[in-house]
Amino acid sequence: MVTRTARERQLDHPGRGEIALADVLHALADPVRLRVVRTMAAADSPMACGAFGLPVSKSTCTHHFRVLREAGIIRQHYRGTAVLNDLRRDDLDARFPGLLDCVLAAAAGDSPAQ
């Protein structure tokens, strides 16, 4: 029986300085990924991938979360067998001040604060 160590179960995330605007905008351009980010922004705690109720297959869901993680928008970590997701709001706000709030406001149909 092969057992995995905690190190093997860690996922790669870009550092704050490695988050690229083009990657963030690309990730947020997809309606499913934008829905995930909006849900996470409204939540106060990490969320499991299955908690979003997305209208896509499990493999497509995995793809969307990978795109968000690789763009630096979310941080994923294992808790037991579940993968929990956190919005990297502090990193995004430090790298691109106001961007996330503008995108979320536009997605909600509100005009961003002037």
User: pLDDT tens for residues 6-60?
Assistant: 445 778 899 999 999 999 999 999 999 999 999 999 997 899 988 888 888 889 9
**How many angstroms from the chain centroid is the CA of residue 50?**
14
Q: Quick one: tokens of 79?
A: 């808790």
**How many angstroms from the chain centroid is the CA of residue 47?**
10
d(CA 87, CA 6) in angstroms, rounded, equals 22
d(CA 4, CA 43) in angstroms, rounded, equals 31
Q: What is the architecture, at CATH level 2, of domain 9-108?
A: Orthogonal Bundle (1.10)
The reported pLDDT for the residue numbered 1 is 47
User: pLDDT tens for residues 66-88?
Assistant: 999 999 999 999 888 888 999 99
Outline where the chain has alpha helix (H). 21-28, 31-42, 58-71, 89-95, 99-108
The reported pLDDT for the residue numbered 110 is 65
Residue 3 has pLDDT above 60, yes or no: no
With beta carbons less than 8 A apart as the criterion, state whether 61 and 107 touch: no
Domain boundaries, the chain: 9-108
